[in-house]
Amino acid sequence: MKKTIILIISIFMFIGGTVNAQHDFDINAAGLFYKNFGVDYEYNIKDQMGIGLSFTYAQNTLGMALDDGVNFSTIDIVGEHKFYPNPSNGGDRFYISLYIKYRTSSWKDMSYTSANLEKKYDMSFQGMAVGFQTGYKKVFPSGIYFEGSIGAGRYLFTKWDDTADPSHNLSDKNNDYKNNEFVDHFMFNWDVRFALSLGWRFGKF
């Protein structure tokens, strides 16, 4: 976790030092209402093209904690390539994009009953998804901008793990969670993205 944050900050600092460039920073304001804290950075390569990196952290959101006493958290890191077909000020107005997303999630202090005894365990998920997104960005002369976006993708690779007693048989020897309720959960098969963001642009081409 610490290494990931340091890497992201280092990338921002390196790109931020580029001269004659246009940079966009924003937060997903809508996500704050459901305990989803996201920050985004976009480097505008030219008027019609930009590359972005986003980092999102969520805790006990969207009912994923499932039961009282269970702590759920998830981290998303997303790389994105945007295309603006008809920009007004460069890197603005309607766009479409291709993205790749890495997600890691964990559930702490889950429980099950065995031989009339309650036992605790943790569970984790890792996955890589790819998808498409579309959105609209309105940039004001002050550099402040609003952006709305929606997208969808599919997880190509997933991995589940747990610390439960093997006798509980949460998974088989290949970590195949076909009998586990989480495997069929929409959030861990298909990826859906939605954001209403408030940001600030600085720099020029």
Q: What is the pLDDT of residues 14-54, one digit of tens each?
A: 554 554 578 999 999 988 877 789 999 999 988 999 999 99
> Distance (Å, rounded) from C-alpha 136 to C-alpha 103?
25
The three-class DSSP label of residue 77 is: strand
Angle made by CA atoms 189, 56, 93, in degrees to the nearest 5:
95
Q: What's the mean per-residue pLDDT of the chain?
A: 80
Please give the backbone phi and psi of residue 15, each rounded to the nearest 5 degrees, phi first.
Answer: -70, -35
> Distance (Å, rounded) from C-alpha 74 to C-alpha 63?
13
User: Residue ranges per domain, the chain?
Assistant: 2-202
What is the per-residue pLDDT for 177?
A: 43
Q: Which of 126, 103, 13, 19 is CA-nearest to residue 57?
A: 103
Q: What is the pLDDT of residues 111-123, one digit of tens each?
A: 665 556 667 778 8
**What does pTM read for this prediction?**
0.79
For residue 120, count other CB atoms closer than 10 A to its CB: 13
Reported as a pLDDT band with limits 50, 70 and 90, residue 203 is confident
Reported as a pLDDT band with limits 50, 70 and 90, residue 180 is low
Residue 178 pLDDT more than 50? no
Under CATH, which number does the domain 2-202 receive?
2.40.160.20
Record the tokens describing residue 133, joined without a space. Answer: 């997104």
Reported as a pLDDT band with limits 50, 70 and 90, residue 124 is confident
Q: What is the pLDDT of residues 67-76, one digit of tens each?
A: 556 788 999 9
